[in-house]
A and B are shown apart, each in its own frame.
Chain A
Amino acid sequence: MAFLNMFSRDKDQPTAPTADDRLSLVLSYQRSEIDEAKLKQFRIRLIELCDDFGFDVVGQVEVRPQSRGGDRTTVLCASIPVRVKQKN
Chain B
Amino acid sequence: MKHESVAITITSGKGGVGKSTTVASVGLGLAQLGKKVCLVDTDIGLRKLDLMLGLENRIVYDLVDVIEGTGKLRQALVRHKEYPGLALLPAAQTRYKEEVTPAQVKQVVDELRNEFDYILIDSPAGIEGGFRNAIAAADRAILVVNPEIPSVRDSDRVIGLLEAADLKQIDLIVNRVQPGMVRDGDMLSVERVQNHLAINLLGIVPEDKRIIRSSNTGEPVILDQKSLAGKAFSNIARRINGEEVPFLELEENGLISRIKRLFHIASALN
Contact = CB atoms under 8 A, between A and B. Distances in A.
Interface of A: 18-20, 22-24, 26-27, 30-31, 67, 69-72
A67 to B, nearest CB: 6
B196 A31 contact: no
Given A19-B187, A20-B188, A27 B153 contact: yes
A69 B153 contact: no
**Main DSSP-derived SS at the B contact region:** helix
A31 B185 contact: no
Given A30-B156, A30-B157, A72-B159, A23 B149 contact: yes
A23 B152 CA distance: 8
A32 to B, nearest CB: 12
A20 B157 contact: no
A30 to B, nearest CB: 6
Contact of A70 (B152, B156, B186, B198): B198
B197 A72 contact: yes
B217 interface: no
A15 to B, nearest CB: 12
Identify the interface centre among B149, B152, B196: most chain A CB within 10 Å of its CB.
B196
Interface of B: 149, 152-153, 156-157, 159, 185-188, 192, 194-198
A18 B187 CA distance: 10
A21 B192 CA distance: 10
A88 B195 CA distance: 51
Contacts, number: 38
Contacts of B157: 30
A18 to B, nearest CB: 7
Closest 6 CB pairs of A and B: A69-B195, A69-B198, A23-B149, A72-B198, A20-B192, A26-B153
A27 B187 contact: no
Contacts of B197: 69, 72
26 contacts: A19-B149, A19-B185, A19-B186, A20-B192, A22-B149, A23-B149, A23-B152, A23-B196, A24-B196, A26-B149, A26-B153, A27-B152, A27-B153, A27-B156, A27-B196, A30-B153, A31-B156, A67-B196, A69-B195, A69-B196, A69-B197, A69-B198, A70-B198, A72-B156, A72-B159, A72-B197
A26 B156 CA distance: 10
B160 to A, nearest CB: 8
Identify the interface centre among B187, B188, B194: most chain A CB within 10 Å of its CB.
B188
Contact of A23 (B186, B192, B194): B192
Contacts of B188: 19-20, 23
Contacts of A18: 185
Contacts of A26: 149, 153
Given A20-B188, A22-B149, A24-B196, 8 more contacts: A18-B185, A20-B192, A27-B152, A27-B196, A30-B157, A67-B196, A69-B197, A71-B198
